[in-house]
Structure 1
Amino acid sequence: MCATDDVEANFRTCEKLATLASDAGCAMLFLPECFAFIGRKGEDALAIMEPLDGPLMTRYRDLARAKNIWLSLGGFPELGPDAGHRLNAHVLVDADGEIRASYRKIHLFDVDVPNGPLLMESKTASPGSEIVAADSPIGRLGMMICYDLRFPELFSALRYECGARVMLVPSAFTRPTGAAHWEVLLRARAIETQSYVIAAAQCGVHSEGRASYGHSIIVDPWGEVIAKLDDPDEGVGIAVAKIDLRGLEETRAKIPIETHRRGLGDRTAFPVTIAEM
């Protein structure tokens, strides 16, 4: 999808996507970061931030109930600690419209993108501090948002400490970074954790100076792309795949990296040596 600062139009798009997913027999629909709102400036989202029991989130909860489908709401402007900061919340809603889990984005995107925009998320957002996994109809989900993709230690914690089998990376990747790194990082994280990776993506031009790479993608635990939207700028749509948890366990059994891991964080057992010039 290509969200804008029009909250009502964004909801209609998400409603259309939910209908497509429901009609396709999907158990879950995964929406990207900023599904409800993308402003022209970073501070614009502060005007619509609300608690998770507020009216806008209630509409999306009602949508899940109406379509009888679980929703992964990839990045919502949740009411933050003060008037100048929101939380970027990934919210999991079940088919009854109940919130099952919420994750607040830990790694904030403060980057001057080469040949792209200057984005300073921390100016108007506060980071989360909790790693979150949640059970769902397709297995245990590891919840993340966008820039978290670049931090493999979070993926490792979700697999080895939380037992996640499906990693969620709802995103609004910039075009320069997406073209260079999007697919290769998603496939790498799937291979590293031997997990499914589901990455719903914003696409197209949101406003002057703000555009997203798109290319929503689903990767299996062997690192194979099993669903993808190749031309996201042509409009909204969904990529559909089946999650095979038995096949996931077979992949993990072929190369049992969980049993081979060493406690590299223990400096007594693994001291650091730097051979300087």
Structure 2
Amino acid sequence: MGASRTLHLSPQIVLAGASRLLRCLPRGVAVKCSMAANTVKVAAAQMSSTNDLMTNFETCSRLTKEAAAAGVKLICFPENFSFIGAKEGESLKIAESLDGPIMQRYCSLARDAKTWLSLGGFQEKSLDDGHICNTHVLIDDSGNIRNKYQKIHLFDVDVPGNMVYKEGSFTTPGSDIIVEDSPAGRLGLTVCYDLRFPEIYQELRFQHQAQVLLVPSAFTKVTGEAHWEILLRARAIETQCYVIAAAQTGKHSENRESYGDSLIIDPWGRIIARLPDRLSTGIAVADIDLSLIESVRARMPISEHRRPDIYRRSA
């Protein structure tokens, strides 16, 4: 037998049917399939936060270590990951600045695990004692806060058959669109109720070139059953972005329950990762393939077909 030969397969060939090709290769051919160049492993965490800061941190720490051991470079946690109050006013009492001990603990976690953390819905101190900011914090693998987004759309809603939420009564809305480059691509930061406002996602994609949309959430059980998956898939399809949606789940207190169902969705709108149990604590893991984003956008170039000049004139 002569010297062995090596056949290099593109990711497209691998995905299209490498298993059939392998059965047809002559003996002595070693196959090397490299898909790592444009691929980064990410995770969407799911948990049931309570009003116990340390217990919540221990859960986040365990899930982060689990994700890091699986090679995850970005793990996304849900809204209110560090605290969900059981009584009115508790969130105001525990609110801190980003250089306070609560967030610095999570910075140390990211540094120790050598992974990026998306921390959605942190109770950040506002300018006055009667309000907080609902802040999505992005920490890099060195433990540095790379950026923050303050939730723009506040959940002031009478949920059918459920209860009335008045987030605006104690939360100061943000006013800035935020993107940040990361190992998993260009990230667009949002929080929960933002999901119902497609304009912010259009802005992130077409004005700020986002590739991955982060939607940390604590959807109610009623609204989650009705709209969670369909809204997430719509945002992915209409922007041709990956969507990572980390969710709170289950009962947090007597008065509050979240839907769960953490999802990762690709730019074609396909669900590529979800937990097998909508109510469990754990992580859903998938690969972000930047070449897939390029392929979807090239084949259906909606960025070139948009007519914002007409949209504005017709408004």
TM-score w.r.t. length of structure 2: 0.84
Q: In structure 1, what is the equivalent of residue 5 of structure 2?
A: none
> Counterpart of 1:29 in 2: which secondary structure?
strand
Q: Matched residue pairs, number?
A: 269
Q: In structure 2, what is the equivalent of residue 122 of structure 1?
A: 168
Q: What's the CA shift for 1:271? A: 3.6
Distance 1:69 1:141 in 2: 15
Runs (5+) with no aligned partner, structure 1: 273-277
Moved more, 244-253 or 34-43: 34-43
Counterpart AA for 2:284:
A
Q: Select the structure with the greater relative contact order (CA < 8 A; seq sep ≥ 6).
A: 2
Q: In structure 2, what is the equivalent of residue 275 of structure 1?
A: none
Q: What's the CA shift for 1:263? A: 1.5
Counterpart AA for 1:188:
A
Once the two structures are superposed, what CA deviation does each residue of 1:134-182 show, in whole Å capped at 9, x if it has no partner? 0000100000000000000000000011110000000000000000000
> Counterpart of 1:202 in 2: which secondary structure?
strand
User: What is the root-mean-square deviation in Å for CA atoms of aligned residues?
Assistant: 1.1
> Counterpart of 2:132 in 1: which secondary structure?
strand
Q: What's the CA shift for 1:257? A: 0.2
Counterpart AA for 1:256:
P
Out of 248, 254, 261, the residue aligned to residue 306 of structure 2 is: 261
> Counterpart of 1:140 in 2: which secondary structure?
strand
Runs (5+) with no aligned partner, structure 2: 1-46
Distance 1:232 1:16 in 2: 19
Distance 1:23 1:67 in 2: 9
Q: In structure 1, what is the equivalent of residue 93 of structure 2?
A: 47
Q: In structure 2, what is the equivalent of residue 250 of structure 1?
A: 295
Instruction: Answer yes or no: is the 8 Å Cα contact 1:27–1:69 preserved in 2.
Output: yes
Moved more, 224-233 or 128-137: 224-233
Moved more, 222-231 or 148-157: 222-231
Residue 74 in 1 paired to residue 120 in 2?
Answer: yes
Distance 2:314 2:171 in 1: 37
> Counterpart of 2:106 in 1: which secondary structure?
helix
Out of 240, 247, 250, the residue aligned to residue 285 of structure 2 is: 240
Percent identity among equivalent residues?
56
> Counterpart of 2:231 in 1: which secondary structure?
helix
Q: In structure 1, what is the equivalent of residue 259 of structure 2?
A: 213
Distance 1:260 1:151 in 2: 21
Distance 1:147 1:40 in 2: 20
Distance 1:43 1:157 in 2: 34
Q: What's the CA shift for 1:115? A: 1.5
Distance 1:132 1:157 in 2: 10
Instruction: Answer yes or no: is the 8 Å Cα contact 1:31–1:74 preserved in 2.
Output: yes
Q: In structure 1, what is the equivalent of residue 104 of structure 2?
A: 58
Distance 1:115 1:271 in 2: 37
Instruction: Answer yes or no: is the 8 Å Cα contact 1:117–1:210 preserved in 2.
Output: no
Distance 2:184 2:289 in 1: 8
- CA change 1:247–1:266 in 2 (3 A) is closer
Once the two structures are superposed, what CA deviation does each residue of 1:98-145 show, in whole Å capped at 9, x if it has no partner? 000000000000001012121100111110010000000010000000
Instruction: Answer yes or no: is the 8 Å Cα contact 1:42–1:121 preserved in 2.
Output: no
Distance 1:241 1:90 in 2: 21
Q: What's the CA shift for 1:254? A: 1.0
Once the two structures are superposed, what CA deviation does each residue of 1:185-212 show, in whole Å capped at 9, x if it has no partner? 0000000000000000000100001000
> Counterpart of 1:89 in 2: which secondary structure?
strand
Q: In structure 2, what is the equivalent of residue 147 of structure 1?
A: 193
Distance 1:205 1:264 in 2: 47
Q: What's the CA shift for 1:41? A: 3.1
Q: In structure 2, what is the equivalent of residue 169 of structure 1?
A: 215
Distance 2:90 2:171 in 1: 11
Counterpart AA for 2:153:
H
Runs of 4+ displaced beyond 4 Å: 264-267
> Counterpart of 1:53 in 2: which secondary structure?
coil
Counterpart AA for 2:301:
P
Q: In structure 1, what is the equivalent of residue 51 of structure 2?
A: 5
Instruction: Identify the structure with the greater strand proportion.
Output: 2
- Counterparts of 1:101-112 in structure 2 under 5 Å? 101-112=147-158
